[in-house]
Amino acid sequence: MPDTPDTPDAAPPARPPVVDLATWQAASDELLVREKAHTHEGDAIAAARRRLPMVEVDGTVEVVGAEGPVPFLDLFQGRDELIVYQHMWYDGAPHQGQCEGCTMIAWHLQDASYLNVRGVSLALVTVGAWSEVAPFVEFMGYTQPWYSVRDAPAPIGGEMGYLRTFLREGDRTFMTYATTGRGTERINAAINLLDQTVYGRGEEWEDKPEGWPRGGEPCWYWRTDAEGRSTWGPTSRPVPQWTRPGVTAETTLGRNNPCH
């Protein structure tokens, strides 16, 4: 585990140089030029995304949720657009053994009010059997609808870890966009906020000044022990699970490889 402020005997990390406000403002203004260029490029990419072709999918495919089997079309909840996050799943693993990265993503999808008002619904799906998924959803306290797509063909089912968007025209359903890996980071407010801080994500791949904390492997902080220390050890859990009532350390972890 990399050094953190809670690691005994860890050397104090380096700090940015201290300057007066005018000097800081000048440096900040210089960076702002690059940030605005980055924002404008993001706008241009979003414009290109809106111009992608789309692929028709079978909206009658059955998925399983809290109300039993329903057609995929029901996930739209009568709206014209749908965003789906496809959560990875490990059959038979305990709650704390499910995918740490997907747990982190799902934690940031607790309220879809601002999507709904724009005519967009949100759902989370996974290839786990509903008999396993339902207790996990209840344990985590997730508020958005979840479904098992265990028997559904791709792109509704199949490989997980994707963010996908769909469009509905009457009873016809189309996939309009899909991304995975770091493409899903736009969901993750914590990651985006950490990128604004001096020490960033705490991952060793990041470009850091000399003397900065070296960080650990990607995703090293997605699990912690009961004291909040980042670790992939045998008594760790995905971070938000420690907020669940009655949670204790576990020794029966499922798959826990970083960044599956």
pLDDT reported for residue 2: 42
C-alpha–C-alpha distance, residues 122 and 106, integer Å? 11
Q: Say if pTM beats, i.e. exceeds, 0.85.
A: yes
182, two tokens: 């770091």
pLDDT reported for residue 257: 53
176, two tokens: 């309009």
pLDDT reported for residue 216: 85
Fold assignment, 55-186: Glutaredoxin (3.40.30)
Radius of gyration in angstroms for the set of CA atoms belonging to the chain, rounded to a whole number? 21
pLDDT reported for residue 3: 41
pLDDT reported for residue 12: 67
66, two tokens: 């809290």
User: How long, in residues, is the chain?
Assistant: 260
Could you give phi then psi for residue 180, rounded to 5 degrees?
A: -145, -175
pLDDT reported for residue 252: 74
C-alpha–C-alpha distance, residues 81 and 108, integer Å? 20
Q: With a cut of 50, list the residues of the chain below it in pLDDT.
A: 1-9, 260
12, two tokens: 């104090």
Answer whether 216's CB lies under 8 Å from 200's CB.
Answer: no
104 CB burial (10 A radius; 0-12, 13-18, 19+)? buried
